[in-house]
Amino acid sequence: MSYRVDFTLKHDLKKFGIHDWNECFHCGNCTAICPMTKTGSLFPRKDIRLLQMGLKDKLATNLDPWLCYYCGECTETCPRDANPGELMMSLRRYLTSVYDWTGLSKKFYTSHFWEFGFIFFFFCAVIASFLIWLPLSGNTAELINDQGGVMINNLVAGISGASFVNIIEIGDWTMAILVAGLLISNILHMFYRVVIRDKEVKVPVYAYITEFWSLIWQFMTQSKFSKCEGKTYWVGHLLLMTGYSIMFAVIVVLLPEFQIEEVRPWYNWQRLMGYYATFGILFFLVYVTISRIRKSDWKSKFSHPTDWLFIVMLGLTTITGILVHIFRIGGMVSATYYMYVIHLAVLVPMILVEVPFSKWSHLAYRPFAIYFDRLKEYSRKSQNENKLVRAA
C-alpha cells in the first residue's frame, strides 16, 4: 500500500509550532538517545520523516507523539538543531486537531481570533448571566455566619440555600457531560483512525480486555513518564494531575458538600484536601512558568501561544479560587460574590477550550495512546507468531 506525499502539510503545520522541519537529515541520533525508544522502532526520527513528506494518513494512524514526554534529550543531541522534541510536541497539537471531529481544535490552534473570541464570549456570558439572573443580594449585613464568614449560598438575591447550589451543580454537570461527551467521541474517532483504519494491524478481541489495565495504570501513575530524564517534572506533573482530579471531584460530584454555609475548622479533611490540590496545582504552575520564562530546559525553550494560554487560564482560575476562599473566611460579602463570578467566568471557558480541544485533552489521549499502542503491538506480535507457525 502506498501513501501519497503532501507538499502542503508542512505549511499547514507551521501554526502548530513546527518551523525547522527541513533541517533533519536522519542521522538517527535522536532515536539512539531517546529513553522511550523500543527495540525496532525509529521513534522519533520516523515521525519527523513522515512530517517532512507530508504522509497525512500515516501520521494520523501514528501514536508515537503521545509516547513522548518531551525530556528534550533528542533536541540536545541533534547535530542539525532540528529540534525533534518540539517537533513531537507540535505533532501532539496537530493530532489533537486530527482527532477532534468538530474542527474547533484546529480553529483554536491556528487562529487567535477563534481561540480568544471563544474564551471572551464565555467569559462575558458567565458574567452577564450572573449580573442579569443571579445578582448580588442587597441585604449584605445578614450574610455573615456565626464564624464571621460569608454565607455563600445566600449571596444571590431571591435565591437561598440549596437552590443556589443546585443551579451551580446543574451547570457543573452540564459542562462535565458536554466535555466528557466531546472527549469520548474524539477518543472513539482516534480509535477509528489509529486502530481500525490501520490495515496492518488486527487486534484480537480479548487483547482489549487484557491490556486495559495499562490504561488505568498509566492514567494514575504516568509511570512511563518517570522513565524520562528529570524526575522533578514528573513529580510536579503528578501533583498537578492529582490536585486537579481532587478539585474536579469536589466541584462536580461533591458540590453540595463543598459549597456550604459554615466555615469548617482548618483540619477538616475536605479543607485539607482542597489545600493539597491548590498547592499541587500552584507548585507545578509556578515551576512551569519559571522554566518557560527562563527557558531553563529544552521542553521550556519553545512556547506555543496555547502553552501560555493554558498557564494563564489555570493560574487565573486558581488565584481567583484562592481569593474566593479568603474573602469568604474574612467575611467580605461583595468581594466574595464578585470574585466567585470572576472565578467561574475564567473556569468555564478554560474547561470548554482546554479539555476537549486543546492542551488539556492529553489527559485522555496519552493513556489511550499507550493502550492503543499496546493493542497494536499485541497484534503485530501475534501476526508474527502466526507467520512463524505457518512457516514452520
Partner 1 sequence: MEEIRIGVYVCWCGTNIAKMVDVEAVAKAMREIPGVIVAKDYKYMCSDPGQELIIQDIKEHNLNRVVVSACSPRIHELTFRKALENAGLNPYMFEMANIREHDSWVHTDRAEATQKAKALVAGAINRVRWHESLDKRSVEINPATLIIGGGIAGISAALEIADAGKQVYLVEKQSQLGGTVAKLDLLFPHLDSAQQLIQPKINRAMNHLSIQCFLNAEIREVFGYIGNFEAKVYQKDDLETEIQFGNVIVATGLKPFDPSKIDQLNYKRLPNVITSLELEEKLLSGNLVMDNGKDPKHIALIHCIGSRNKNHHEYCSRTCCNTALKYSNQIRSAFPDAAIYEIYSDIRSFGKGCEELYTHTARQDVMFLMYDQKGEVPKITEARHSEKVNMMLEFREQLSGEHVEVPADLVVLMVAMEAHENAKEIAHAVGVSMCGNSFYIEKHPKLDPVATTTGGVYVVGSCQSPKDIPDSVSQARAAAARIMADINFGSVEVEVTTAVVNEDICCGCQTCISVCPYTAIHFDAEKNVSVVNEILCKGCGTCGSACPTGAIRSRHFTDKQILSQIEGLMSMQLQH
If one asks whether residue 271 binds partner 1 (CB under 8 A), the answer comes out as no
Residue 22 CB, nearest approach to partner 1 (Å): 5
Whichever of 172 and 198 has its CB closer to partner 1, that residue is 198
Residue 49 CB, nearest approach to partner 1 (Å): 4
Residue 3 CB, nearest approach to partner 1 (Å): 6
If one asks whether residue 55 binds partner 1 (CB under 8 A), the answer comes out as yes
Quick check: bond before 135 cis, omega within 30?
no
β-bridge mates for residue 153, sequence order: none
- Distance CA(152)–CA(328), nearest Å, equals 7
Give, as ranges, the residues between 114 and 133 that touch partner 1 (CB under 8 A): none
Indicate the Cα dihedral angle 314, 319, 325, 327, nearest 10°.
-140
If one asks whether residue 26 binds partner 1 (CB under 8 A), the answer comes out as yes
Cβ-based neighbour number of residue 41 at 10 Å: 15
DSSP code string of 311-350:
HHHHHHHHHHHHHHHHHHHTT-HHHHHHHHHHHHHHHHHH
Helix 112-133 with 333-357: angle, nearest 10 deg: 140
If one asks whether residue 54 binds partner 1 (CB under 8 A), the answer comes out as yes
Among 14, 22, 32, 220, contact with partner 1 (rule: CB under 8 A): 22
- Tell whether the torsion through CA atoms of 136, 142, 148 and 151 is positive or negative: negative
End-to-end CA distance of the chain: give it in Å, rounded. 27
Residue 283 CB, nearest approach to partner 1 (Å): 42
If one asks whether residue 46 binds partner 1 (CB under 8 A), the answer comes out as yes
Residue 52 CB, nearest approach to partner 1 (Å): 7
Cell of 61: 494512524
Whichever of 56 and 343 has its CB closer to partner 1, that residue is 56
Whichever of 29 and 52 has its CB closer to partner 1, that residue is 52
- Answer whether 299's CB lies under 8 Å from 225's CB: no
Whichever of 45 and 343 has its CB closer to partner 1, that residue is 45
If one asks whether residue 49 binds partner 1 (CB under 8 A), the answer comes out as yes
CA–CA distance from 76 to each of 34, 73, 86, 274, 276 (Å)?
Answer: 11, 5, 11, 39, 35
β-bridge mates for residue 144, sequence order: 150
* Interacting span for partner 1 (CB under 8 A) from 54-62, 97-105, 141-149, 200-208: 54-62
Cell of 161: 440555600
- Distance CA(325)–CA(28), nearest Å, equals 52
- Maximum distance among all alpha carbons in the chain? 87
**# binding residues, partner 1 (CB under 8 A):** 17
Angle at CA of residue 66, ends 315 and 251, nearest 5°: 35
If one asks whether residue 107 binds partner 1 (CB under 8 A), the answer comes out as no
If one asks whether residue 38 binds partner 1 (CB under 8 A), the answer comes out as no
Whichever of 46 and 189 has its CB closer to partner 1, that residue is 46
Distance of CA 322 to the CA centre of its chain: 22
Residue 105 CB, nearest approach to partner 1 (Å): 26
If one asks whether residue 39 binds partner 1 (CB under 8 A), the answer comes out as no
If one asks whether residue 272 binds partner 1 (CB under 8 A), the answer comes out as no
Among 31, 52, 96, 361, contact with partner 1 (rule: CB under 8 A): 52
Comparing C-alpha atoms, which of 79, 72, 93 is closest to residue 296? 72
If one asks whether residue 19 binds partner 1 (CB under 8 A), the answer comes out as no
Among 7, 113, 266, 267, contact with partner 1 (rule: CB under 8 A): 7
Among 33, 53, 127, 178, contact with partner 1 (rule: CB under 8 A): 53
If one asks whether residue 4 binds partner 1 (CB under 8 A), the answer comes out as yes
If one asks whether residue 91 binds partner 1 (CB under 8 A), the answer comes out as no
**Residue 134 DSSP SS3:** coil
Residue 194 CB, nearest approach to partner 1 (Å): 17
Interface residues with partner 1 (CB under 8 A)?
1-5, 7-8, 22, 26, 46, 49-50, 52-55, 58
